[in-house]
Amino acid sequence: MLLYGIKQQQQRGGHLLEQSGRIVEGFVDDGGKKNELHGRLGGAWDNHSFNEFHDILSGTSVPAAWDSVRAMQGRARIIGEEVAVETTRRWARRDRPPVNEQQIVVLNLDDATWEGFLETKPFLSFDAWRNRWLSDLEGRPVDFQAVQPDAATHVERVVFPLSFAGGQCAQVLVRTYERLSSEAPDTDLEVSPCLIANAHLRAGLDGSGIRRLAAVERALADWGMGPVLENGDADAVRPLFGKPDPGPVREK
């Protein structure tokens, strides 16, 4: 388990430093500043590359070495994060059109189109989310879902879908002064005090949480395996083979 963490962080750190170098090349015009940032990344690569030594990465170092290995991995990763954040924020401030709203600026550094879900924590000066919403630059609403924040205070977290071409920049605004229409979006979600369900999964609820979870359709595999959490044993997960019976459509 310890070795797995070292190898995982080594891989992630290498990807981060490579990405940070591409950010510097693509978003810094000043030659002196570019050399400075590449110098910082060069020091980070020295720390990162040292941990490629065969006795470290293969897990045959003495246990006393692991604290230093993790410290070197962390130092390399922090430098990569600092360079990436500093460079992209300066570029966004300088090159993006000014908007009187908070902007979530997303960069696609690859050549291929990216499509998926993004998670972010907009800075609201410790205010609650309230009636805020997301839009594109033209004011069209962007679907989003508020999710549980890491902190107990008002550090809000939202997830939203995004699709944009390689080498492009996307801007999403956190709107604070207009209200969305109260019209509900199209969804197959079914919610009640005792049930949350859609076309794929049904979760029966009680005061302690989920009491039964079942696959309505063949959600987990083409041959129809789905999890069922039985009441009374939180660790009992029984696979169902074939199409399970979803039970009644609604629970009263």
The 10s digit of each residue's pLDDT in 94-133 is 888 888 888 899 998 888 999 999 999 888 888 888 888 9
The span from the CA of 37 to the CA of 34, in Å, is 5
Query: What torsion do the CA atoms of 20, 23, 24, 28 make, to the nearest 10 degrees?
Result: -160
User: Is position 180 within any domain?
Assistant: no
Same domain? 109 vs 75: no
User: Is position 182 within any domain?
Assistant: no
Residue among 8, 22, 181, 173 at smallest CA distance from 105:
173
Same domain? 81 vs 119: no
The span from the CA of 216 to the CA of 82, in Å, is 46
pLDDT greater at residue 244 or residue 46: 46
Query: Residue 31 has what pLDDT?
Result: 93
Binning pLDDT at 50, 70 and 90, where does residue 147 land? confident
Domain count for the chain: 3
pLDDT per residue as tens digits for the range 77-92: 999 999 999 999 999 9
Phi first, then psi, for residue 159 (nearest 5°) are -125, 135
Q: What is the CATH number of the domain that holds 150?
A: 2.60.40.1180
pLDDT above 50 for 237: no
Same domain? 146 vs 131: yes
Burial class (CB in 10 A: 0-12, 13-18, 19+), 176: middle
Same domain? 17 vs 46: yes
The span from the CA of 14 to the CA of 68, in Å, is 18
Same domain? 69 vs 34: yes
The span from the CA of 67 to the CA of 132, in Å, is 44
The domain in which residue 50 lies consists of 2-95
Domain boundary among 61, 76, 95: 95
The span from the CA of 171 to the CA of 106, in Å, is 6
pLDDT above 90 for 187: no
37-48 average pLDDT score? 95
Q: Whole-model pTM? A: 0.66
Residue among 140, 156, 139 at smallest CA distance from 148:
156
Same domain? 218 vs 149: no
Same domain? 17 vs 63: yes
Confirm if 48 and 76 have CB atoms less than 8 A apart. Answer: yes
Query: Residue 55 has what pLDDT?
Result: 77
Q: What is the CATH number of the domain that holds 34?
A: 1.20.1270
Q: Please report, rounded to a whole number, the percentage of residues in the chain having pLDDT higher than 70.
A: 79
